């Protein structure tokens, strides 16, 4: 029984880490443009497909396929921002949100076209066999190890980028105030583009990992993970990077433990129920700061 719980916690960690990759994109974009980027879950889907084509049809080695997916999605993310969000940047916030919904639907339906990804489910042939390791009665798979290591490296890289580089500093200033950043000589447009590129690359990596961990992909696969990851970002406090990771780990655990020990159908209800409860206690998320309102 104890081993079962530990196994489930490891499974939950795997799911949570993947949510974290998606949630980071949501939270970074929210930080710099205050927009819920509903299309982010679909960028994740495109990443999963590009990675899948990479290792199963174009014959790329797995790490190269992941990098290809990240590159393609970076370009996609920047293009989406340029076309659909930039014209609305200083319009009412809801306009950009509706545009994001439009982009999300566009990617889903465009992906469903027969000459793009096709409307059907595809079973992913993993580029390597799944191997199980038994350590002191606990089961870990090589896929889980790959997920953990990739995500930890990416998180460390992001931490370095945001706190130790010039572009990271620019991102942090833009998150506070666009005009003040401009006065300080920060190129706001470029900084926002870079934020979208990084966020989308993270989602793409998440997509490829998701495709090998839960080997089935289709053009609408991004909706639920996207929504969960966004919820995770809100749970942790949107706009705050450690908050996104914390929220994602909580979501992963809640979801896995609920389906393992309670009921897999109640999974979503309990995850969102917890979200509502947390928001009632901390209206801006677990790590969120409530700023006093100024008149």
Partner 1 sequence: MGKADSSKKTILLLAAAVIIYALIRTLEAAEFINPYWQRVIDQALITTMGALGLSIIYGFTGQFSLGHAAFFGLGAYASGVFDKTVGHGALPMFLLSLLIGAAVAGLMALIIGLPILRLRSDYLGIATLGFGIIVKVGMDNSSKFLPILGGATGMSGTPQVANFDWVFWFTLLVIVLVRNFVFSTYGRACTSVREDEIAADVMGINTTRIKVIAFVLGCALAGLAGGMYAHRYPFLHPSSFDFLKSFDFLLVVVLGGLGSMTGTVVTAIAWVFVLEGLRMVLGEAFIDFRGVIYALILIVAIILRPQGIFGGKELGFLVPKPMGSQAGGKGGVNAGTGA
Name residue, tokens 């003040």. Answer: 180
Residue 232 touches partner 1, criterion: CB under 8 A? no
Show contacts with partner 1 in window 121-180 (CB under 8 A). none
Q: How far is the CB of 224 from partner 1 (least distance, A)?
A: 9
Chain centroid offset of residue 136 CA: 33
74-108: buried (b, 16+ CB within 10 Å) or exposed (e) per residue?
A: bebbbebbeebbeebbeeeeeebbebbeebbeebb
Structure tokens at 241: 């990077």
Stretch that binds partner 1, among 4-12, 44-52, 100-108, 207-215 (CB under 8 A): 100-108
Nearer to partner 1, 54 or 219 (CB): 219
Q: By C-alpha distance, which of 204, 234, 253, 258 is closest to 16?
A: 253
Nearer to partner 1, 148 or 272 (CB): 272
- Those residues with Cβ within 8 angstroms of residue 253's Cβ, 6 or more apart along the chain or in another chain: 9, 12, 13, 16
Q: How far is the CB of 227 from partner 1 (least distance, A)?
A: 8
**Chosen residue from 63, 87, 137, 157 binding partner 1 by CB under 8 A:** 87
Handedness of CA 180, 186, 187, 191 (dihedral sign): negative
Nearer to partner 1, 53 or 272 (CB): 272
How far is the C-alpha of 202 from the C-alpha of 151, rounded, in Å? 9
Show contacts with partner 1 in window 273-292 (CB under 8 A). 273, 275-276, 279-280, 283-285
122 SS3 class: strand
Residue 265 touches partner 1, criterion: CB under 8 A? yes
Q: How far is the CB of 50 from partner 1 (least distance, A)?
A: 19
Nearer to partner 1, 66 or 233 (CB): 233
Residue 79 touches partner 1, criterion: CB under 8 A? no
Nearer to partner 1, 64 or 278 (CB): 278
At 292, phi and psi to the nearest 5? -65, 140
Residues that bind partner 1 in the complex, under the rule CB under 8 A: 36, 84, 87-88, 91-95, 98-99, 101-106, 108-110, 112-114, 119, 227, 230-231, 234, 238, 265-266, 268-269, 272-273, 275-276, 279-280, 283-285, 293, 295
């Amino acid at each position: 029984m104890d081993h079962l719980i530990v196994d489930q916690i490891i499974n939950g960690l795997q799911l949570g880490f993947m949510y974290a990759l998606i949630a980071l994109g949501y939270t970074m974009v929210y930080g710099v443009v205050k927009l819920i980027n509903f299309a982010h879950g679909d960028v994740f889907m495109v990443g999963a497909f590009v990675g899948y084509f990479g290792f199963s049809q174009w014959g790329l080695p797995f790490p190269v396929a992941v990098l290809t997916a990240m590159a393609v999605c970076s370009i996609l993310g920047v293009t989406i921002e340029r076309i659909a969000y930039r014209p609305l940047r200083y319009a009412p916030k809801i306009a950009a949100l509706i545009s994001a919904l439009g982009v999300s639907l566009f990617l889903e339906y465009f992906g469903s076209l027969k000459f793009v990804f096709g409307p059907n489910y595809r079973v992913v042939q993993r580029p390597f066999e799944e191997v199980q390791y038994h350590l002191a009665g606990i089961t870990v798979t090589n896929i889980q190890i790959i997920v953990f290591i990739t995500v930890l490296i990416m998180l460390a890289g992001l931490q370095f980028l945001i706190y130790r580089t010039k572009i990271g500093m620019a991102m942090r200033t833009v998150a506070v105030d666009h005009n003040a950043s401009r006065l300080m000589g920060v190129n706001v447009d470029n900084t926002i583009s870079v934020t979208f590129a990084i966020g989308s690359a993270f989602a793409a990596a998440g997509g490829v990992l998701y495709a090998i961990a839960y080997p089935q992909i289709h053009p609408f696969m991004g909706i639920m993970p996207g929504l969960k990851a966004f919820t995770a970002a809100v749970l942790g406090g949107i706009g705050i990077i450690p908050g996104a990771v914390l929220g994602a780990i909580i979501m992963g655990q809640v979801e896995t433990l609920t389906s393992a020990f309670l009921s897999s159908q109640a999974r979503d209800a309990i995850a969102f129920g917890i979200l509502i409860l947390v928001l009632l206690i901390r209206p801006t998320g677990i790590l969120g700061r409530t700023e006093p309102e100024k008149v």
